[in-house]
Amino acid sequence: MSAPPHARPARIVSARDPDFSVRVAEFDDLVGLQREAEELGLSARWSSRAALERQVAPGTTVILAPALRHTLESYRCFIWFVPRAADHASAVSLFDVTVTSFDALREVTDPARLRMVVHMLLDRMPLSPIE
């Protein structure tokens, strides 16, 4: 007997996969993604909207790239954001996003912006816990 589709093990998303892309979201989009993650019980998210607002600088643009196909319906993404605290220029963490919502975000195709994401990864930016 096979496992239900939502219980299948996570699959790493590589840069060569057809479903790999880099997306951007504005702060209001992030609030909507957080609300959706809370409603669906996705685990990699902020504990609340208030926690998100305490940690992420208002008006920031966030960058998302899938790391894992967490379920058939969601990705576990790397998320880069500008923290409200001034001690770091940017932070990276993990955040669960439904495939539908991820696909609705604006895709980054500009080579300069894509290089910026690669540089952040190569600089081994430490993962920041989200509250």
Q: Residue 95 is inside which H or E element, if any?
A: strand 91-98
What's the whole-model pTM score? 0.78
> What is the tens place of the pLDDT at every residue in 61-118?
889 989 888 777 899 999 988 888 766 667 888 999 999 999 999 998 888 878 877 7
Considering only residues 43 and 70, tell me which one the structure prediction assigns the higher pLDDT. 43
**DSSP at 31:** H
In the prediction, which pLDDT does 15 show? 63
Rounded Cα gap, residues 44 and 30, in angstroms: 13
> What is the tens place of the pLDDT at every residue in 50-64?
999 999 988 888 899
Among 46, 32, 25, 35, CA closest to 130: 46
In the prediction, which pLDDT does 64 show? 92
Rounded Cα gap, residues 91 and 88, in angstroms: 7
